[in-house]
Amino acid sequence: MSGWDELVAAALIGTDRRPVEAGVPEGSPDGLEVALRERGAEDRLLGAAAAWTVARRAGAVAGERVEVDPADDDPRPVAPGTSLRDRLEGVHPSLLGEWLALAAERGLRPPPELVPALLNHAALNPALHAAVGEAGGPLGRWLAERNPSWAFVRGAGDDVDEVWAQGASEERRALLERLRRADPAVGRDLLAHTFAEETWEDRAAFVAALAHGLSDEDEPLLEAALDDRRKPVRDAAAFLLAGLPRSRFGARMAARAAPLLHVEGGRLRGRRIVVELPSEPDAAAKRDGVPSGGRRSERLHALLAATPLNTWELELAELPVGDDLAGVVRGGWAAAAVAQRDAEWARALWAVHPDPALLVALPRDEGEALAARADQPDVAATALTGQWGATLSKAVIDAIHQRRTAGERGADAEFAGYRLDPAFSTEAEERLRDLGGRDLRRLCDILTARAAMLRELS
């Protein structure tokens, strides 16, 4: 038994039951062993262990030299690193996605010394996988080959078949999303060949990834997924099929929903919609994701949300609804308009039921114009992700300023800092910061950081 092993045994058993007989390793400083003999058993154990630890570290033999090819050259110019370093060090880290988008638009790459920290950050934030994979470029892929935690990056440049067959789940999901954005058919065909062999967690994630580039050609795969053993997979498929009004799924939903709404009255009495609430779903309806149990009004909403809007006459959108079910009916239609990106229905519903979610079904300029003219532009604009244009940005700042100066608290306004045009950072600072409220201070801080980021990358 070596001296180190004897020390470990004594530490495990206890010095009162096993004497410390091991000496210090060869080459220890003169007098160390004599000094330890004069100490108690516990001190001798700790002192000898310290000496052996140093000896073991100093005596480690290096492995054979391995030649490693460097990363491929990256022709993109290097972006300034101040804003990126701030994001990675915890100063408004939620702006990292915007930094990546700005850099990509300008054909810039992150400073090489920040790429490892960028990969570490993305490893904990799956939503950033695709953007970081592209931003990291050849260096990111080179680093990912040496760290399994960064495996999600490899799909951005490696052989597609190899990554799909041998990659980790994170790699394969990133690869599928990238393929769906570039060529939806290639991604769909790749998934179709292995779908039955995937774990249920991967099946659910892969089905959700089909949202990128969703089209009628995806129907056969999604229809098959409705028969999956796992509910999350079926739910993901039903959600996407609701956005394909020409699908067999849509026809089945229309057959279930159409008998539930009737128009009564005429020109003299006034027309209105009468609702018959749906009964408990049968096995076929459950397969399509129609909820069982719970409130029948919730089931009606789910049915209408998944029913093709061409099932109904557009003029129904403006008719009153009986039995206090107007919110349920119009809410279901609004969800359908968003899923099917039906601008005509979105306009008609906005006129009588101005749900902010409807604005995403409209052309961006039109949606922003409607939000800017709404009674509360900051509330109406909540569904419009990404940076707002100048008109809507000005309307939101005006609305927040008016409400706060009148003493009304209103909803938390911090989110607007991520959406306002950075050109309005000075106006927001002058008009909003001193009105009180942590959310307004955060709004101004975020908008100022975005403006600085934009200037740096311009």
The reply to whether 73 falls in a domain is no
pLDDT in tens, 30-77: 777 777 777 777 887 788 888 878 877 776 666 788 888 999 999 999
Q: Which domain holds residue 200?
A: 82-246
Shared domain for 182 and 321, answered yes or no, is no
Residue 72, C-beta contacts closer than 8 angstroms, at least 6 positions apart = 138, 142
Amino acid code (one letter) for 300:
L
Shared domain for 428 and 344, answered yes or no, is no
pLDDT in tens, 119-135: 999 999 988 988 999 99
Shared domain for 218 and 110, answered yes or no, is yes
Nearest residue to 429 via CA among 395, 389, 386, 397: 397
For residues 418 and 395, is the Cβ–Cβ distance under 8 A?
no
pLDDT over 70 at 97, yes or no: yes
Shared domain for 297 and 349, answered yes or no, is yes
Q: What is the DSSP string of 390-401?
A: HHHHHHHHHHHH
The reply to whether 76 falls in a domain is no
Shared domain for 99 and 117, answered yes or no, is yes
What's the farthest any 2 CA atoms get from each other in the chain? Answer: 114
Shared domain for 213 and 87, answered yes or no, is yes
The reply to whether 63 falls in a domain is no
Q: What is the mean pLDDT of residues 105-116?
A: 98
Confidence class for position 21, pLDDT limits 50, 70, 90: low
In the chain, the number of structural domains is 4
pLDDT at 355: 94
Q: What is the mean pLDDT of residues 394-414?
A: 91
Shared domain for 165 and 98, answered yes or no, is yes
pLDDT over 60 at 157, yes or no: no
Out of 246, 281, 310, a domain closes at 246
The reply to whether 69 falls in a domain is no
Out of 343, 362, 381, a domain closes at 362
pLDDT at 4: 74
pLDDT at 7: 74
The DSSP output letter for 78 is B
Shared domain for 99 and 202, answered yes or no, is yes
Shared domain for 458 and 387, answered yes or no, is yes
The reply to whether 74 falls in a domain is no
pLDDT over 60 at 260, yes or no: yes
Shared domain for 264 and 227, answered yes or no, is no
Q: What is the mean pLDDT of residues 333-337?
A: 98
* C-alpha atoms less than 13 angstroms from C-alpha of 358 in its C-beta half-sphere: 23
Residue 109, classed as helix, strand or coil, is strand
* Residue positions counted in the chain: 458
Shared domain for 219 and 255, answered yes or no, is no
Q: Which residue has the higher pLDDT, 85 or 16?
A: 85
Confidence class for position 156, pLDDT limits 50, 70, 90: low
CA distance 144 to 207: 26
pLDDT at 2: 67
The reply to whether 241 falls in a domain is yes
What percentage of the chain reaches a pLDDT higher than 90? Answer: 71
- Cα angle 405, 410, 414 (rounded to 5 degrees) comes to 95
Nearest residue to 115 via CA among 91, 93, 144, 92: 144
For residue 410, what are its two tokens? 């209103």
Q: What is the mean pLDDT of residues 243-261?
A: 97
Out of 246, 280, 307, a domain closes at 246
The reply to whether 72 falls in a domain is no
Shared domain for 99 and 226, answered yes or no, is yes
pLDDT at 155: 56
The reply to whether 77 falls in a domain is no
pLDDT over 80 at 99, yes or no: yes
pLDDT in tens, 194-229: 999 999 999 999 999 999 999 999 999 999 999 999
pLDDT in tens, 236-251: 999 999 999 999 999 9
Confidence class for position 330, pLDDT limits 50, 70, 90: very high
